[in-house]
Structure 1
Amino acid sequence: MSKDCNDVFCFAVSRCAVSPTGDKLYITSSKQHKLLTLAKDGSILATFMDPALKLMVGLHVTPAGQVLVFGGESKNIIQVDSKGSMKLATLATRRDGVEDPHSVCYNRITDSIIVGQFRHKKILVYKVK
């Protein structure tokens, strides 16, 4: 077990989400520090890892197919391409108030990213530009 993977958050499968078209399944693994993209038949289409993303636990797929992933230990949120193979942008970091991310989602009505935090009693809202 890695030093940044504790008993509470160290899972082979942390979160999963389905693409808007239903043809891909995205899975985060905090134990393996990766995002897997699977086809309907279970075959692996892509594997994504980023050294700047530690304890990858959170995942959300927007209605437009954008993949949002966060690192519980690295305290950051990134956007990955819909193939699940390449980092597109860093959306928020500790400097932006991300302290203990536990959930992330995108609200298309307000065009905002909403972040729930585990030990902090606040919800962060970031307006997408």
Structure 2
Amino acid sequence: MLSFAVSNCAVSPSGDTLFFTNNSHHKVLSLARDGTVHHTFTDPDLQFTAGIHVTAQGQVLVCGGVSHTIIQLDGKGKKKLATLATRKDGLCYPHAVCYNRSTVSIIVGQSGCNRILAFPVK
């Protein structure tokens, strides 16, 4: 049995992949439903992994709380596709993230200030 501290979790649209963040080790883990680890993702742009969200299209969005970043991973949680927002965009310890399909924007809750940010998706 796999043992690690979980910060947040999300599930792929198909339900076959589970994603977990571990903030003390700055990791994103993707697992099969039976607990088998598919991938472990780390990146210097992702320090103190916090919130995680999987869109209906399978895009994985992850908050780097201390690195003040939101990054996008591929649907397997194996590879970084993009850094979507940084401190330059106004991020201040992002802690929660989700994609709003009706407004076509990424909503970010922050623990370092009393603001919720919405970034339009291009």
Q: Using structure 2 for the length normalisation, give the TM-score.
A: 0.94
Alignment correspondent of 1:115 = 108
1:100 pairs with 2:80: no
TM-aligned CA deviation for residue 20 of structure 1: 0.6
Q: Give the alignment of 1:1-129 within 5 angstroms.
A: 12-129=5-122
Shift of 1:33: 1.2
Q: Aligned partners of 1:99, 1:82: CA distance in 2, in Å?
A: 26
Q: Which amino acid aligns with 2:119?
A: Y
1:40 & 1:121 partners in 2: Cα distance?
36
Q: Distance in 2 between matches of 1:42 and 1:24?
A: 9
Q: How far apart, in 2, do the equivalents of 1:22 and 1:14 lie?
A: 19
Structure 2 unpaired stretches of 5+:
none
Structure 1 unaligned spans of 5+ = 1-10
Runs of 4+ in structure 1 deviating by more than 3 angstroms, as ranges, are none
C-alpha distance in structure 2 between counterparts of 1:99 and 1:92, whole Å: 11
**What CA deviation, in whole Å up to 9, does each residue of 1:75-108 have, x standing for no partner?**
0000000010000000000000001212110001
Give the letter aligned to residue 68 of structure 1.
L
What value does the CA root-mean-square deviation take over the aligned residues? Answer: 1.1
- CA offset at residue 18 of structure 1? 0.6
SS at match of 2:46: coil
TM-score, normalised relative to structure 1? 0.89
Check conservation: 1:78, 1:90, Cα contact below 8 A.
yes
How many residue pairs end up in the alignment? 119
2:5 is matched by which residue type in structure 1?
A: A
Maintained 8 Å contact 2:67/2:93: no
CA–CA distance in structure 2, aligned partners of residues 26 and 33 of structure 1: 13
Q: Percent identity?
A: 60
